[in-house]
Amino acid sequence: MVFRNSKGQILDPLSYTLQIINNYPDVEIHIGTDSYSESDNTRYITAIAYRYKEAGVHYIYSKSNFCNPKYLSGSFTRGGFLGKKPNFEPTSKKLSE
């Protein structure tokens, strides 16, 4: 994943975060990811937000695009594949079997 700041500069998230923690030990760090689909692509955005007690928030982010397989395009919904709800029946079979 490539992380950027709000100016578009590429950053290493680990070393950047360690630098922030060393300079501001009371910083709060929040990490979140979200996704949305556009035609045959799904875009994932991950953000790391640094919240300072007295100085607000700044963030770094990463965007990734993944091409959806054509056979799933338009066929998968939140209700299940092809509009059918998945069947998750409990099983008594042990994992070691």
In a domain? residue 16? yes
Could you count the other beta carbons within 10 Å of the beta carbon of residue 27?
17
In a domain? residue 29? yes
pLDDT, greater one: 54 or 68: 54
In a domain? residue 96? no
Single out the residue of 24, 26, 31 nearest to residue 48, CA to CA.
31
Q: pLDDT class for 55, splitting at 50, 70, 90?
A: confident
What is the domain range of residue 64? Answer: 3-71
Q: Indicate the number of domains in the chain.
A: 1
Q: What does the mean pLDDT of the chain come to?
A: 79
Residue 86: pLDDT over 60: no
In a domain? residue 67? yes
12-30: average pLDDT = 96
In a domain? residue 26? yes
3-9: average pLDDT = 94
